Structure 1
Amino acid sequence: MPGAPARLLVVVPSETDPPARLGGWLARAGLELDERHLGTGDPLPATLDGADGLLVLGGPQSALDDEATSPELTGVRRLLAEALRADLPTLAVCLGAQLLAEVGGGRVREGVEGPEVGATLVAKRDAADADPLFGPLPMTPDVIQFHHDEIAELPRGATLLASSPVYAHQAYRVGRHVYGVQFHIETTPEVVEEWATRDTVGVAASRLDQETVIARSTAVHPDLEEVWAPFAARFADLVRSRARSGAATP
């Protein structure tokens, strides 16, 4: 009899950034998603006991927020720190990647070049070629950007995997299995349209009008799926390997 599917804890700090297509890709790859939507009051588990992997998404909060400003992020930081200690397969996206950088000894600050917004490209670094998740990606994969803060310093011992002309720290790995990506791969065109409508400051800083940001982001989504759905399947392989090894967080 086959065993239970590997379980991925999915932390959704804000309903503005749901798992969307990434959640669908991971479910189709055979993972059981345990989604915790903090904006609707879902509690976070105290520990990662029983989780074979962790996904932390983004939101309008800032990694610079203190506990009084964004109390919901306290538990997220705690789980990311636990994942680092255990080298649990983890994918942290945008805000998640910034929180991961902080708990790992890196540094986040307000982006010195201003917001990075809309459809763009990132470039793989040399170390990415030997990475099991990033190695098969094209040299300059399409991504969606929507962030005001930047990862100024990576966590201690991190390996840089991708950069952009605006901000160098776009993707990184800590240990063997913990990943952070500053950009978004999970979006739908509707999600990006909502962001572009809401974040008028970010769109204005991009020197593009709202309609252009939305149109370009919508047009690139088929290419995003072609590149990042297989990436999600490779991450699911890491989570399943962890489950098979019986090395879930003690």
Structure 2
Amino acid sequence: MKIHYLQHIAFENPGSILSWAKENQYPISATHLYRNETLPELDEFDWLIVMGGPMNIYEEESYPWLRAEKEFIKTAIERKKVVIGLCLGAQLIADIIGGRVIRNQHKEIGWFPITLCENISDYPEFSFLPSSPIVFEWHGDTFVDLPKEAILIATNEGCKNQAYIYKKRVYGFQFHLENTMTIIEDLIKNCSDEMVPERFVQSAEVITAHNDYIEQDNKWMKMFLTKLAVMYEEEEI
């Protein structure tokens, strides 16, 4: 099983996903779009992971590679690859499958609980999660008006649409379970202008005080990937 990821900016890498792939000896490759690297052929990977980033999905004038990336993700979905979108990645997928991406009422930055929807029991890949896990958020936009094939599986007070599953093998997460402390510290360093005090924006001191949340989130990400890999290899998805 070969994994490929799309990275939009230098300081937002797949974090714990990289260590999971290494631990399980899954080959993993990358396209760093901000370096204008060439996208791979679709037969070169089985899973596609689309990372986060500070740009908006519609900023194609500022980030011309977004056009080619959207077509690439669309084709990967059509070819029935496993596709996982994180934050910006989830928004890109939502736009591609017929949803919309808009400015959320609240900016969410920091550690916040999400509520899993009742239908989560239909998805064994999430069976280990508590009903209200605390996750890391850093976004101002959100996805809405998802098509009927996209099943909403998580919500919270600050942002109604937190995660979805599309056609059993495409996943969109508005939040981050993959982030390490290094990634979070780099986000704070490079995107501090976004940390304007609001209801759902925590301070840098509060955010970096929770290494325990990072460890738990990373463990959940690895558990999700492990269950998904078993389902994939047993052709259940």
Same fold (TM over 0.5): yes
2:156 counterpart residue number? 164
The separation in 1 between residues aligned to 2:224 and 2:34, in whole angstroms, is 27
Secondary structure of 1:81 counterpart: helix
Q: Tell whether 2:75 aligns with 1:59.
A: no
Residue 207 of structure 1: how far off its partner (Å): 4.8
- Preserved CA contact (<8 Å) 1:141 1:227: no
Q: Does 1:15 align with 2:7?
A: no
Aligned-CA RMSD value: 2.1
Unaligned runs of 5+ in 2: none
Q: Do residues 107 (structure 1) and 72 (structure 2) align?
A: no
| 2:177/2:220 contact within 8 Å kept | no
Identity %: 26
Q: Quick one: structure 1 residues 174 and 221, their matched pair in 2 at CA, closer, same or farther if it must change by over 3 Å?
A: same
Q: Which has the higher contact order (CA 8 A, sep 6+)?
A: 1
Deviations along 1:192-231, one digit per CA (max 9) or x if unpaired, are 1221233234322345332222223x34112213322211
What residue is the counterpart of 1:154 in the other structure? 146
CA distance in 1 between partners of 2:64 and 2:104 (Å): 23
Q: CA deviation at 1:82?
A: 1.5
> What is the number of residues matched between the two proteins?
235
Pair 57,200 (structure 1): closer, same or farther in 2 beyond 3 Å = same
- Alpha-carbon distance in structure 2 between the residues aligned to 1:168 and 1:70: 28
Deviation at 1:77, TM superposition (A): 0.9
Greater CA drift, 72-81 or 161-170: 72-81
Give yes or no for contact 1:196–1:213 (8 Å, CA) kept in 2: no
Shift of 1:94: 0.5
Shift of 1:141: 1.8
Q: Any conservation in 2 of the 1:185–1:224 contact (CA below 8 Å)?
A: yes
Q: Check whether the contact 1:29–1:236 (CA below 8 A) recurs between aligned residues.
A: no
Give the corresponding residue for 1:49: 43
Of the three residues 60, 69, 72, the one matched with 2:62 is 69
Asked if 1:130 is matched to 2:122, the reply is yes
User: Match for 1:79 among 67, 72, 77?
Assistant: 72
TM-score, normalised with respect to structure 2: 0.90
SS at match of 1:146: strand
- Secondary structure of the 1:16 match is coil
Cα pair 2:50 2:85 within 8 Å, conserved:
yes
TM-score, with normalisation over the residues of structure 1? 0.86
